[in-house]
C-alpha cells in the first residue's frame, strides 16, 4: 500500500496526522516504538493498543504542534483518551518526503 508523501514546509499538523493514520491503517512495518517509549509504557501501565487508539482517534488533538528536529525529523504530541486514561504520545516522523516512517518516542499521562 502506498503511503502519501509530503514536501510542504513546514509540515502541518493535519499532514502529520494523515501520515500517522495512513501508516497505522495501511503499513504497520513503518510504525515503531523506541526503547524509551516501551520503558515508559511499562512504567505507566500503557499498552500499544492504547497508543494506537490515541493516534487514530478523531477526538484526539495535537497538544504540541509539529516542528522540525535538528536531525530533520518532524515531531508532534498527540493527546487523547483510551481505556479511561488520558495519554500524551510524542511521535517523530522520518522521511516524510520520500518514505514516511513513524516512531513513538515517549508516552506520558498528563497531570
Where are the domains positioned within the chain? 30-108
The DSSP letter of residue 56 is: H
Can you give the pTM of this predicted structure? 0.92
Enter the C-alpha cell of residue 67.
516542528
What DSSP element (H or E) covers 39?
A: helix 35-44
pLDDT at 2: 62
Enter the C-alpha cell of residue 104.
513513538
For the chain (length 111 residues), average pLDDT per consecutive 10? 73 96 94 98 97 97 97 96 96 93 97 77
CATH T-level assignment (fold) for domain 30-108: YaeB-like fold (3.30.2310)
- Cell numbers 512495518 correspond to 29
Give dist(CA 44, CA 46) in Å, integer.
Answer: 6
Amino acid at each position: 500500500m502506498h503511503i502519501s508523501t509530503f514536501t510542504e514546509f513546514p509540515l502541518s499538523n493535519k499532514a502529520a496526522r494523515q501520515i500517522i493514520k495512513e501508516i497505522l491503517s495501511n503499513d504497520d512495518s513503518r510504525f515503531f516504538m523506541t526503547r524509551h517509549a516501551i520503558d515508559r509504557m511499562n512504567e505507566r501501565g500503557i499498552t500499544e493498543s492504547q497508543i494506537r487508539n490515541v493516534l487514530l482517534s478523531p477526538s484526539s488533538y495535537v497538544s504540541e504542534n509539529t516542528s522540525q528536529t535538528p536531525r530533520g525529523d518532524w515531531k508532534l504530541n498527540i493527546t487523547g483518551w483510551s481505556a479511561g486514561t488520558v495519554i500524551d504520545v510524542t511521535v517523530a516522523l522520518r522521511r516524510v518526503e520520500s518514505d514516511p516512517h513513524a516512531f513513538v518516542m515517549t508516552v506520558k499521562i498528563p497531570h
